Structure 1
Amino acid sequence: MKHEILKILDKKHLLVVGKSETERRNFVGYIIENTNYETFRFPAGMKLFHEYLDFVKKEQLYQPWYEAKKYNGNQILDFHRDWISENNSLLVLEEFDYMEESWKMELFRLFIHETENRRKGEDKIKVIFSQNSENGLIDKLSHIITLKESEKRTKRQIIEQNLELINI
């Protein structure tokens, strides 16, 4: 099962749910050990968006377009979005169900949008999320993404094509 998941990660983001926090952490650890991606493991159980932003600053997960002495949070977030679109790294966000709901949905939307708009064969960011349960997350996500005018798939199909639910 674990080897198939490594193949899935090349195409989709992963949402790991089920069992205990320790077992999810070990499962994610196995995936990290067996991939060849540069990995950034965010602190587990982040609650506020500022915690996410602080980690982005600390690890320099952004590329400024211009030189300044200091950047504010909105500038860093814009630079981080560009970094995501140009990067082929693995981001790990464990126990993500604790994150404040609005920012959690925005981050999911951002990552799904990036994989959805990439052409086949292009490098793209990979993300592993872990949380206690799915808890209606896919339905919530299907309400916040936007469809292209010529899109024939449903919003839910787009989510399921870009996010694999792994129940361990």
Structure 2
Amino acid sequence: MESEDDDWELCYDDGFVYKRKRRRLNPPEPVNSSEPDSEKLRKERKKRTLLKLKSKYEKEILQWENLSNTLRSLQISSSPQLQQQQQQQHQTLSLPSTSSSTQSNLLDDLLSQVEAQEGIIHDIFNLCDVAEAMCFKQEQLFKQSLFDLPIWSTPHELMQALCYDD
């Protein structure tokens, strides 16, 4: 018969020392295929909880990816406009005296650039509103999870929750 110390081994991983069960080439035979009902229920509950958590995180990741893609597309669409603006500003500085028609064309170009920038700023504000709404919803869900704790119910229900761990 093996001693208790033979079942455990010390591991050293980059300065972190911990104890783990010794790995064996031949795993021990299962003692009983029938687990106690409480153990099965606990495993099922744990599995359901983990699946819910996984789906929640997947939804949140999708939302953040959508926001990221939208912002990236805004950056891509605004970069040619910014380059065009810089070129036109450089041209206006290099031409000290121009005719009135050229000046009016230049003014029209500058106004259209400002309008394009206004649209970009509006889109970014919309993205910020969406991100803020997501954060607010997450905060509300967190608050609700705290309010749903059994400690806020009657003492009898609290004792049931602590004893039975549904």
Return the TM-score normalized by structure 1. Answer: 0.19
From the two aligned structures, give the one with the greater strand fraction. Answer: 1
Q: Greater Rg, structure 1 or structure 2?
A: 2
Structure with more relative contact order (C-alpha pairs < 8 Å, separation 6 or more):
1
TM-score, length of structure 2 as denominator length: 0.19
